[in-house]
Amino acid sequence: MDPLQLFRDISQHPADYARQWKTRTGGKVVGNFCSYTPQELIVAAGALPYRILGSGADISRADSYLQAYCCSLVRGSLEDALAGRLEFLDGAVFPHTCDSIQRLSDIWRMNTGFGFHADIILPVKLDTESAVDYMVSVLRRFRQDLEKGLGVTLTDARLADAIRICNQVRQLLATLYELRRTRPGVIGGSDLHAVFRAALVMDRVELAEALATLVDQLAAAPQSQDESTKRIVFSGGLCSMPDIYRVVEEAGGRVVWDDFCTGARYFEGLVDETREPIQALTERYRERVVCPAKHAGIYNRGTYLLEKVKENRADGVIFLFLKFCDPHGFDYPYMKAMLDKEGIPSIMFEIEDQLSSEGQLRTRCEAFLEMI
Amino acid sequence: MPSDEKIIDPDKERRKIKCDSKMREIMAQYYMEAKTPKEQRGKPIAWITSGGPVEPLHAMDVIPIYPENYGAMIGASKMGVELCERAEEMGYPRDLCSYARADIASATVNGGPIGGLPEPDMLICCNNICGTVLKWYEVQARYYNVPLFILDTPITHTEFNDEMRRYVTRQSEEYIRFLEQVCGKKFDYDRMKVVGDLSIRGQELWQEILDTTMNRPAPMTCFDAFFHLAMIVTLRGTQTAVDYYEMLLAEMKERVAQGIGMLPNEKYRLVWDNLPIWYRLRWLSNKFIERSACLVADTYTSGWTSWMPFVDRSDFLGFLGESYARIFLNSGTDIMADNIIRMVKKYDADGVVFHSNRSCKPYSFGQYDIQRIIQKKLGIPTLMIEADMVDERSFSESQIETRIDAFIEML
């Protein structure tokens, strides 16, 4: 199959993919919520790490468990679980990040009835020695939880394999970003979004194969003549709005980088294959740019964003936030101020539901791109 | 027309808590010292989160200042909306915690009832109450350009394990090193022992005061506790707090002995969950009093004694990290439900009032489950009030009044 078509299909029906994978392999599927889920350990346990993003369906059941001032990611994911749309999951993993995910873990544990439930109670700061030591012990505990919860033995050899394959995926995803950066137009934003959406749920071996084919295909494609577009960097938590790419492109822009946990943060930083595996996993998280729910100095994310803007010769930044996302809300003013100081234009969109206000989004996006 | 204010109702006078004025005096003194120019006061200032380990600061002669306490003062003075709106103009979304918004804005305009807080020399952030404080203190660390210490306290979803214990214990040591560095002097371990004892004594007294409401009629309500709480938050670990609470406890015991209740007619007894609605304290208090409902206890003010089971008198500093990590808010929703159930039984309550507080996600998410658990295990009615602790724009008076009426009928 054309790899792009495969990614498009899976991104539209990720749950179907997981169900088929399960039938096909007899393996277990472990839901997870965050780029701080050590997917290597889940892969090494022979299970499929499945990133839960919420299908965007109307919320009714979750209203009895979560107030309306909770973000659509948390409410939507719980809705899917309660409505039986995630029946293929054998369990779920909750890395400690924000207050909302923290409480979702409790509500999920008490109400959804999936067998395996693990909290990975990570440190919030990643810049001290004691925090790093603690993180190592947390990942060791998670490894045991997985073994007990899934009834498997997680050997060092399997973990080394998992690390290798996940590194391969990261390198291939990074190559895709590089291709897009140096040859604009080689892959459309919504297609790249589809690749990532699929990458968050696919069997990592299958994923690596499909990505390799795609990268070869794109590298051989003729160079696009389209060089006049305005180069945009996205900043935010995650993107669950494929149409935003179309909006940007139709307004004459092209996305060249992002700092999404479903984008660059997913692939940035490799796990050192020569080190003790748990130490190496920890080290990757320590070195990578943080999610705003984590702390690694007070300018970590702002500095990173500026670097990426410059590196990618971007013309402007679009901040894309989920409404009610506190960590991003707190970081926004200082990150914007850092951009302002360097004369980099930016605009912010707060999104509650998928496509809820596309008209307004389009108008503002067009005005922004015209201005820069 | 004669002024209503001049008519003294002797029954109302009798019910008033006499210590109130002393409390105001002490708090005024505390803020006055802190607001004295640095050259005169000599002592450095640390801003610290409400659930943060203040005792080492006292041992080092650092004045602790609580932006959350100031947030409450801003709310009670009904100055919250203006400051929250100012923060929104600065780019902070309206959905963020109103204490944080009010404080961030206040810092830039010297706002609020005392014209802004004194500038910090350092920031101490303990995330046992929420993840919001981490982001909030990062904002202030950038604004004031002062050192920030983070005490990271892993949550007890279901258990507190050895790895967590090691991590928080190591951080307590790092905290001491941090203070030595910022203050430029050695840590005083002898003084720490004294402060630790005073802290424990203060908390014991505070719990005893809260427990006087086990009596019928209750000598005070949680609305009084919201007021007298300021001392255990801001002056925990000082002789001042111990002396004051001894005085308050004596008064409460005296009221109990004389059968003086806060309500003229105490028919129903209720437990309150979550932070107070600061700008409507009196209004809410009156609504319940008019309906003969006495709020005898609350999860909020008792939060400052919820680490007591994990404190070790002989080694206060050694258990500092663990005790601060294990407060009730830093635990799983079912543990929080158990806490309320214990309170309902202890204070013999007939119902529970939940404040679903837009500003406090870790406190509010899970309340619907707790409601169901209480209904199932105790079979008593519960009430959910949607509001915000400081931002009055999220308060709908008529809707809340209707709900209170419907709730009282169910009791």
Interface probe for A, chosen from B129, B132, B138 (most Cβ of A below 10 Å), is B138
pLDDT confidence of residue B130: 97
ipTM of the modeled complex:
0.96
Chain B, nearest residue to A348 by Cα = B91
| Interface contact B368, partner A, CB < 8 A | yes
Residues of B whose CB is below 8 A from A321: 93
CB contact under 8 A, B136 and A330: yes
Write out residues 49-108 of B within 8 Å (CB-CB) of A.
90-93, 95-97, 100
CA distance A323 to chain B (A): 8
- A267: number of Cβ within 10 Å: 22
pLDDT of residue A181: 83
Instruction: Write the pLDDT tens digit of every residue in B272-285.
Output: 999 999 999 999 99
CA B242 to chain A, closest CA, distance in angstroms equals 34
Question: CA of B385, closest CA in chain A: separation in Å?
Answer: 12
Contact between residue A98 and residue A325 where contact means Cβ atoms under 8 Å apart: yes
Say yes or no to pLDDT of A54 above 90. no
Which residues in chain B have Cβ-Cβ distances shorter than 8 Å to A70?
361, 365
User: Which residue of chain B has the CA closest to A65?
Assistant: B368
Task: Provide the angle, in degrees to the nearest 10, between the axes of the packed helices A189-199 and A204-220.
Answer: 160
Using one digit for the tens of pLDDT, what is the confidence trace for A19-46? 999 999 999 999 999 999 999 999 999 9
Decide if B131 touches A, using CB distance below 8 A: yes
Cβ of A107 within 8 Å of Cβ of B333? The answer is: yes
The model's pTM: 0.96
Nearest Cα neighbor of A295 from A97, A156, A146 is A97
pLDDT at residue number B355 = 98
Burial of B214-246, coded b for 16+ CB within 10 Å and e otherwise, reads: ebebbbbbbbbbbbbbbbbbbbbbbebbbebbe
Q: Which residues of chain A neighbour B49 with C-beta distances below 8 Å? A: none
Mean pLDDT of B300-325: 91
β-bridge mates for residue B297, sequence order: B271
Q: At residue B4, does pLDDT exceed 60?
A: no
Each residue's pLDDT tens digit, B347-401: 999 999 999 999 999 999 999 999 999 999 999 999 999 999 999 999 999 999 9
Could you tell me where the DSSP H helices lie in B93-156?
98-109, 132-144
* Residue B341 per-residue DSSP state: H
Are A134 and B131 inside 8 Å of each other by CB?
no
